[in-house]
Amino acid sequence: ASSGRNLMIKKYFVFLLALIPIAVYAANDIVQGKVVNVDGTPEAGVWVIAETEELPTHYRKIVVTDDEGNFVLPEMPKATYDIWVRGYGLSDSKKNKAKLGDTLSLRVEDAKTATAAAAAYPANYWMSMIEAPSKEALKKSKFGDVYKTPDDWLSQFKHDCNFCHQLGSVRTRFPNVELYDYGLKKSATMNHVAQQLDRELVLSVLDKWAKRMSAGEVPREAPPRPTGIERNFVITQWEWGAEYSYAHDEVSTDKRNPFLYPDGPIYGVDLNLDKLLIVDPIAHTTSSVDIPAGENTEDWCNNTYKPLGSDEILPFSAKILGCPEPGIYSPYEGVIDNPVNAHNPMMDAKGRVWMTMQVRREWGEDLPEFCKKDPVIANNPHHRQIGYYDTKTKEIVQIDSCFGTHHLQFDDNEVLWFSGDGHVVGWLDTKIYDHKDPKSLEKAMGWSEGKVDSDGDGTGDTSIYGFRYGIIHNSVDDSIWIGMPPGGLYPPGGRGYILRYDPKTGLGEAYAPPAPGYASRSVEVDSEGNIWTGLSGSGHLAKFERSKCKQTWGTGDQCPEGWTLWKTPGPTFKGLKEVDNAGSADRHYYIWMDNFNTLGMGKGTVMLNGTASDSLLAFRPDTETFTKIRIPYPLVSYTRGLDGRIDDEKGGWKGRGLWFTNGLDPIMQSEVPRSYVGHVQLRPSPTSH
């Protein structure tokens, strides 16, 4: 009798489901339909995911349902698709076959348990369960005098431990502390940063987290489903690279002119495999270009430094995937061969893809002769130099530099500025440099310590040492700004800085974010010359207005009045809500300013990476509001550099968009263990096509 009743109920629900109206739109390149629960209730704010392997590369399109559960997948290439649903509070639906023009009715079910529901949560929700060490434990630690509060320690912990991947993702949620202990040793650099936090203290914190997760504890709150404008985003993905690719950044156009190269290829650097990756978003094809290594260069695991005039050879490397501590087994040892380890592509108006890359050994004796005259340069280690790929001639040009490089940005006069050196900011005037004339290098290249004025006498007298990370040119006053995070590969301490360099005077300025702000990595500038930065440690978006400073000279603590901090969306670490203005548990790898409305949210929209939350965060300064662009699949969408391009200014939402890549390392921690290029577009409604 019970079986008969269940069959009748099931048939009744199927009958009701058939009565639910589905909005039908006429188009040749869409798939549409409706998502409902088993009881017939429409599911609003859930993702509909379409994927196919019938195109030259694996292709995906992701949209969100409207209030009535309706969806439209627009601009779909001709193929057969697997289409399914993911949403917070639900179990993933089964996959349904579909082709263009089909209208689907997709059914989903509520997740059976809290653990099942939390399987789709972003990593920062799981990471927020981590509890800071007590004040007493912190005082007893090796660095009790460095980290003044539990909040400071957690900020550095999050900043370091999410350097390459998401802590809290499924592949990092171990059941016991022994696995964390072993896991740290599988990457020597990871083990090193743990030591700078007091490794025993780190393991104690992870031990408590592991035990609570093993006992069935799940995040304290569920992430909200997309609402409002968040339902209007369309995400398209093209897979690129290989099994061990580390697709760090991508570029589609000249940052200063997003109208260049419409519908053209997207370029990215594979840091692990020394390749320039290419996607054609129209033909849906991928390719790559081998980047040749310089003479005597070594991969990251074995890179060395030899000071000028010394016989001592020192290790100087970032030992990440495949670079374990001595005596520790890693299944990936030897799979990475990257003596170039190219980084951060940037395009110019001549069709060149500039990047930072290693072209020679890090030995002082291999420096260009003119560099050896400056002891600041000659006697200090640095990593990477310069290169570019000419998209017209298909030639890769290597350029030596006197200084280390990492990120690069053009100013308004075709001078390329570089971060990445512990002592100086460097530049190359691309108008002067000619790769066919070796003598032009010395004329085109320059660098400066940018010493700060510590006592207000107008003279630079104090050097600020540390890894210079993000860099940007400020067109308003022709200054250069740099983000300098604390800790990492350098001795722990401080909150980090943003640095200003004035090319006219040679003077530098340093500004530390006020507590609880922690760890500026990247910097951007708005149309008024204000500096924006994502604070990757504390979980804030920050704005710095130098015009508000009562004093600009000093060694960093001056001008707290110039800073404004906004907590980014998402949960706060367990136990830190009582801290005034405590930031979120999200981690912000980079920042990008949409000065040309390439996405469609308005000029001056600040785009912040949610690299621990599978998202991009759009912030409108006029309303001081965040919009979350969640990337629900594949989980562990670790984004780094961003780029925007306008392919057709008159083409509405279809003619513009934001580009990103899944720059996770190791990529095997992703739900789908391959990297991809992503394109975000903003349509007027969830069913626009």
Angle between helices 199-214 and 150-161 (to 10 degrees): 80
Q: Is the pLDDT at 129 greater than 60, yes or no?
A: yes
Average pLDDT over residues 354-368: 95
- Give the list of residues 6+ apart from residue 492 with CB closer than 8 angstroms, or none: 143, 146, 147, 156, 196, 197, 486
DSSP string, 49-102: EEEESSSSS-EEEEEE--TTSEEEE-SPPSS-EEEEEE-TTEEPPPPEEE-TT-
Cis peptide before 224 (omega within 30 of 0): no
Token couple for 52: 């196919």
| Confidence at residue 174, expressed as pLDDT on a 0 to 100 scale | 96
pLDDT tens figures, 278-302: 999 999 999 999 999 998 999 989 9
**Phi and psi of 339, rounded to 5°?**
-65, -10
Q: Is the pLDDT at 80 greater than 60, yes or no?
A: yes
Candidates 238, 226, 237, 224; CA nearest to 64 is: 226
pLDDT tens figures, 100-122: 999 999 999 999 999 999 999 99
| Confidence at residue 372, expressed as pLDDT on a 0 to 100 scale | 95
Distances (CA, A) of 249 to 340, 459, 583: 15, 38, 26
Q: Is the pLDDT at 526 greater than 80, yes or no?
A: yes
| Confidence at residue 539, expressed as pLDDT on a 0 to 100 scale | 95
Please give the sequence-ordered ranges of beta strands (E in DSSP) within 65-216, or none if there are none: 70-73, 81-86, 90-91, 96-98, 103-110
Average pLDDT over residues 367-388: 93
| Confidence at residue 576, expressed as pLDDT on a 0 to 100 scale | 75
Q: Is the pLDDT at 22 greater than 60, yes or no?
A: no
Q: How confident is the model at residue 147 (pLDDT cuts 50, 70, 90)?
A: confident
Total-model pTM: 0.94
Half-sphere exposure of 590 (CA within 13 A, CB side): 21
Tell how strand 304-305 and strand 314-315 pair up.
antiparallel
What is the C-alpha separation between 588 and 607, in angstroms, rounded? 10
Q: How confident is the model at residue 4 (pLDDT cuts 50, 70, 90)?
A: low
pLDDT tens figures, 332-360: 988 888 999 999 999 999 999 999 999 99
Token couple for 241: 């690279």
DSSP element (H, E) containing 191:
helix 188-196
Please answer whether residues 665 and 246 qualify as being in contact, where contact means their C-beta atoms are separated by less than 8 angstroms: yes
pLDDT tens figures, 215-239: 999 999 999 999 999 999 999 999 9
| Confidence at residue 354, expressed as pLDDT on a 0 to 100 scale | 98
What is the C-alpha separation between 261 and 278, in angstroms, rounded? 14
Average pLDDT over residues 616-644: 97
| Confidence at residue 143, expressed as pLDDT on a 0 to 100 scale | 83
Average pLDDT over residues 362-367: 94
| Confidence at residue 379, expressed as pLDDT on a 0 to 100 scale | 85
Candidates 301, 250, 245; CA nearest to 273 is: 245
| Confidence at residue 632, expressed as pLDDT on a 0 to 100 scale | 98
pLDDT tens figures, 6-19: 545 444 444 444 44
| Confidence at residue 19, expressed as pLDDT on a 0 to 100 scale | 45
Q: Is the pLDDT at 651 greater than 80, yes or no?
A: yes
What is the C-alpha separation between 316 and 330, in angstroms, rounded? 20
Identify any residues that bridge with 609 across adjacent strands, giving them in sequence order. Answer: 616
Average pLDDT, the chain: 93
Q: Which residues of 114-129 are buried (b: 16+ CB within 10 A; e: fewer)?
A: eeebbebbbbbbbbbb
